[in-house]
A and B are shown apart, each in its own frame.
Chain A
Amino acid sequence: MSDWVEQPLTWGNVLIYAVLAVVFLLLILGYVTYAILFERKVLGWMQFRHGPNRLGPWGLLQTVADVLKLLIKEDTIPRKADRALFILAPALCYAPSFAVLAIIPYTRELYFADLNVAIVYYAALSAISTIAIVLGGWASNNKYSLLGGMRSAAQMISYEVPLILSIVGTVMMTGSMSLRQIGEAQGDWFWEWNFLPQIIGFGVFIVAAVSELNRSPFDLPEAESELVAGYHTEYSGFRFAFFMLAEYVYMFAIAGLASVLFLGGWHPPAPFLDFVPGIIWMILKMAFVIFFLFWLRATMPRVRVDHLMGFAWKVLVPLAILNVFVTAVCLELFIKG
Chain B
Amino acid sequence: MIRTEELLLNVGPQHPSTHGVLRIVVKLDGEVITEATPVIGYLHRGTEKLAESLNYTQIIPYTDRMDYVSAMTNNYVLVHAVEKMMGIEVPERAEFLRLIVMELQRVASHLVWWGTYLLDLGALSPFLFAFKEREMIIDLFNELCGARLTYNYMRVGGVKWDAPPGWIDKVRDFVPYMEKQLKEYERLVSGNEIFLARVKGIGKYDAETAIAYGLSGANLRCTGVKWDLRKNEPYSLYDRFEFDVPVGTNGDCYDRYMIRFEEMRQSLRILKQAVEQFPSSGETMGKVPRAIRPPAGETYVRIESPRGEIGCHIVSKGKAEPYRLKFRRPSFMNLQILPKLLVGETMTNLIAILGGVDIVLGEVDC
Binding site for B on A (CB under 8 A): 43, 46-49, 143-144, 147, 216-217, 219, 223-228, 297-307
Indicate if B64 sits at the interface (CB-CB under 8 A): no
CA of A298 to CA of B124, assembled, Å: 6
CA of A144 to CA of B17, assembled, Å: 14
Could you tell me if A226 and B9 are in contact, using CB atoms closer than 8 angstroms?
no
| Chain B residues in 8 Å Cβ range of A300 | 122-123, 192, 194
Could you tell me if B129 and A301 are in contact, using CB atoms closer than 8 angstroms?
no
Could you tell me if B351 and A299 are in contact, using CB atoms closer than 8 angstroms?
no
The listed residue (B15, B31, B122) touching A223 by CB distance below 8 A is B122
B33 to chain A, nearest CB (A): 13
Could you tell me if A46 and B125 are in contact, using CB atoms closer than 8 angstroms?
yes
Q: List 19 A-B contacts (CB under 8 A).
A: A46-B125, A47-B125, A47-B129, A49-B128, A143-B9, A147-B31, A147-B347, A223-B122, A225-B17, A225-B351, A226-B17, A228-B15, A228-B16, A297-B124, A299-B123, A301-B121, A302-B121, A302-B122, A304-B348
| Chain A residues in 8 Å Cβ range of B121 | 225, 301-302
Could you tell me if B197 and A224 are in contact, using CB atoms closer than 8 angstroms?
no
CA of A227 to CA of B348, assembled, Å: 9
Known: A228-B16, A305-B346. A48 touches B129 (CB 8 A): yes
Could you tell me if B120 and A225 are in contact, using CB atoms closer than 8 angstroms?
yes
Indicate if B229 sits at the interface (CB-CB under 8 A): no
Could you tell me if A303 and B125 are in contact, using CB atoms closer than 8 angstroms?
no
Could you tell me if A226 and B348 are in contact, using CB atoms closer than 8 angstroms?
yes
CA of A223 to CA of B348, assembled, Å: 10
| Chain B residues in 8 Å Cβ range of A224 | 16
B122 to chain A, nearest CB (A): 3
CA of A224 to CA of B121, assembled, Å: 10
Binding site for A on B (CB under 8 A): 7, 9, 15-17, 31, 118-125, 128-129, 132, 188-189, 192, 194-195, 197-198, 346-349, 351
B27 to chain A, nearest CB (A): 12
CA of A47 to CA of B130, assembled, Å: 10
Chain A minimum-CB-distance residue to B18: A225
Could you tell me if B346 and A306 are in contact, using CB atoms closer than 8 angstroms?
yes
CA of A128 to CA of B197, assembled, Å: 32
| Chain A residues in 8 Å Cβ range of B119 | 225
| Chain A residues in 8 Å Cβ range of B347 | 147, 226-227
Chain A minimum-CB-distance residue to B132: A48
Could you tell me if A307 and B197 are in contact, using CB atoms closer than 8 angstroms?
yes
CA of A300 to CA of B347, assembled, Å: 20
Could you tell me if B118 and A301 are in contact, using CB atoms closer than 8 angstroms?
yes
A141 to chain B, nearest CB (A): 14
| Chain B residues in 8 Å Cβ range of A304 | 197-198, 346, 348-349
A136 to chain B, nearest CB (A): 19
Interface of B is mostly: helix
B57 to chain A, nearest CB (A): 40
| Chain A residues in 8 Å Cβ range of B16 | 224-225, 228
CA of A264 to CA of B121, assembled, Å: 36
A167 to chain B, nearest CB (A): 25
Could you tell me if B122 and A217 are in contact, using CB atoms closer than 8 angstroms?
yes
CA of A147 to CA of B188, assembled, Å: 31
B20 to chain A, nearest CB (A): 14
| Chain A residues in 8 Å Cβ range of B123 | 299-302
| Chain B residues in 8 Å Cβ range of A147 | 31, 347
| Chain B residues in 8 Å Cβ range of A228 | 15-16
CA of A43 to CA of B123, assembled, Å: 12
Could you tell me if A301 and B198 are in contact, using CB atoms closer than 8 angstroms?
yes
Chain A minimum-CB-distance residue to B123: A301
| Chain B residues in 8 Å Cβ range of A49 | 128
Given A48-B132, A223-B122, A300-B194, list of 11 further CB < 8 A pairs? A43-B124, A46-B125, A216-B124, A226-B120, A297-B124, A301-B189, A302-B121, A303-B194, A304-B349, A306-B346, A307-B197
CA of A300 to CA of B132, assembled, Å: 19
CA of A228 to CA of B188, assembled, Å: 26
B261 to chain A, nearest CB (A): 15
| Chain A residues in 8 Å Cβ range of B198 | 301-304
CA of A79 to CA of B152, assembled, Å: 49
Top 10 closest pairs, chain A to chain B, by CB: A302-B122, A301-B123, A47-B128, A301-B121, A225-B17, A301-B122, A225-B16, A47-B125, A225-B120, A304-B348
| Chain A residues in 8 Å Cβ range of B129 | 47-48
CA of A228 to CA of B189, assembled, Å: 24
A47 to chain B, nearest CB (A): 4
The listed residue (A46, A47, A143, A216) touching B122 by CB distance below 8 A is A216
A48 to chain B, nearest CB (A): 6
| Chain A residues in 8 Å Cβ range of B7 | 143
CA of A297 to CA of B347, assembled, Å: 22
CA of A299 to CA of B118, assembled, Å: 11
Could you tell me if B118 and A226 are in contact, using CB atoms closer than 8 angstroms?
no
Chain A minimum-CB-distance residue to B117: A301
CA of A217 to CA of B346, assembled, Å: 18
B233 to chain A, nearest CB (A): 37
| Chain B residues in 8 Å Cβ range of A305 | 31, 346, 348
B252 to chain A, nearest CB (A): 15
A144 to chain B, nearest CB (A): 8
| Chain B residues in 8 Å Cβ range of A216 | 122, 124
| Chain B residues in 8 Å Cβ range of A46 | 125
| Chain A residues in 8 Å Cβ range of B346 | 304-306
Known: A48-B129, A226-B351, A301-B194. A219 touches B124 (CB 8 A): no
CA of A217 to CA of B16, assembled, Å: 18
CA of A80 to CA of B194, assembled, Å: 38
A110 to chain B, nearest CB (A): 36
CA of A300 to CA of B15, assembled, Å: 22
A153 to chain B, nearest CB (A): 14
Could you tell me if B195 and A301 are in contact, using CB atoms closer than 8 angstroms?
yes
